[in-house]
């Protein structure tokens, strides 16, 4: 394959994912901008946002990479019609990692703000918001990541090219949306 052909393939695979990433980032920003009331009512929530978004990107990016590698090695088939224990285990591990990281981020946020003598919501409130958002975004991102990797693989795309932009975009959009929802639910309790 010539250099030109390789460049065309890489461009074809990457440009739509990058465009979707840009649009998704704007949507996540709009959601973030709409959370002003929640940030006032739950001090420390704004500090928690970057940690939770990074967690989503890292954990579910890793899930996408694991699934893509398993596809390349022939360890799994790109189909949801049959239950695959490797895939189920990878998804369960990703969700568990996401929840543990969310809980850690909430406790760390509380600890840092307390040490810095900054106003913060009770640790239970931050934990409840982080864990609820983690559950909702974890389930959603697992479905999206596996679906995108499988669909891309079946269409002849390199799933590794798709995973990064798709996971960061969906992680930001759904992470912010579910953080907003979780904050609303916790405040309503």
Over 80: is that where the pLDDT of 111 sits? yes
Residue 180 in contact with residue 35, Cβ under 8 Å? yes
pLDDT, position 13: 66
Q: Mean per-residue pLDDT for 85-105?
A: 95
Least confident segment among 24-33, 63-72, 96-105, 133-142? 24-33
Q: Mean per-residue pLDDT for 148-173?
A: 84
Over 70: is that where the pLDDT of 40 sits? yes
What CATH number does the domain containing 164 carry?
1.10.357.20
The two structure tokens encoding residue 179: 């953080």
Give the model confidence (pLDDT) of 5-32 as tens digits. Answer: 777 777 776 677 777 778 877 888 888 8
Domain that holds residue 165: 3-188
Number of domains into which the chain is organized: 1
Q: Which pTM does this prediction carry?
A: 0.84
Over 80: is that where the pLDDT of 181 sits? yes
Q: Which segment, 4-13, 52-61, 73-82, 92-101, is predicted with the most confidence on average?
A: 92-101
Residue position matching structure tokens 């990074």: 54
Give the model confidence (pLDDT) of 161-180 as tens digits. Answer: 778 778 888 888 898 899 99
For the chain, give the percent of residues with pLDDT over 90: 56
Q: Across the chain, what does the average pLDDT equal?
A: 89
pLDDT, position 25: 79
pLDDT, position 126: 97
The two structure tokens encoding residue 60: 């579910």
- Cβ neighbours of residue 129 under 8 Å, at least 6 residues apart? 42, 45, 48, 106, 179, 182, 183, 186
Confidence of residue 105 (pLDDT cuts 50, 70, 90): very high
Between the two ends of the chain, the Cα-to-Cα distance in Å is 60
Instruction: Report the 3 state secondary structure along the chain.
Output: CCHHHHHHHHHHHHHHHHHHHHHHHHHHHHHHHCCHHHHHHCCCHHHHHHHHHHHHHHHHHHHHHHHHHHHHCCCCCCCCCCCCHHHHHHHHHHHHHHHHHHHHHHHHHHHHHHHCCCCCCCHHHHHHHHHHHHHHHHHHHHHHHHHHHHHHHHCCCCHHHHHHHHHHHHHHHHHHHHHHHHHHHHHHC
Separation CA 52–CA 69 (nearest Å) = 26
Q: Mean per-residue pLDDT for 77-82?
A: 85
Residue 148 in contact with residue 162, Cβ under 8 Å? yes
Over 90: is that where the pLDDT of 101 sits? yes
């Amino acid at each position: 394959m010539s250099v030109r052909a390789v460049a065309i393939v890489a461009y074809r695979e990457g440009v739509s994912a990058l465009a979707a990433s840009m649009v998704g980032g704007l949507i996540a920003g709009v959601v973030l901008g709409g959370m002003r009331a929640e940030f006032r009512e739950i001090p420390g929530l704004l500090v928690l946002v970057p940690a939770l978004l990074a967690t989503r990107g890292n954990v579910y990016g890793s899930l996408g990479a694991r699934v893509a590698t398993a596809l390349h090695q022939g360890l799994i088939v790109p189909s949801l019609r049959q239950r695959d224990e490797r895939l189920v285990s990878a998804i369960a591990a990703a969700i568990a990692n996401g929840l543990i990281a969310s809980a850690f981020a909430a406790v760390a946020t509380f600890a840092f703000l307390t040490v810095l003598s900054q106003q913060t919501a009770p640790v239970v409130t931050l934990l409840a918001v982080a864990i609820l958002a983690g559950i909702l975004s974890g389930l959603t991102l697992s479905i999206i990541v596996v679906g995108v990797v499988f669909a891309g693989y079946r269409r002849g795309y390199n799933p590794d090219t798709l995973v990064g932009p798709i996971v960061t975009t969906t992680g930001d959009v759904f992470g912010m949306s579910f953080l907003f929802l979780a904050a609303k639910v916790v405040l309503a309790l």
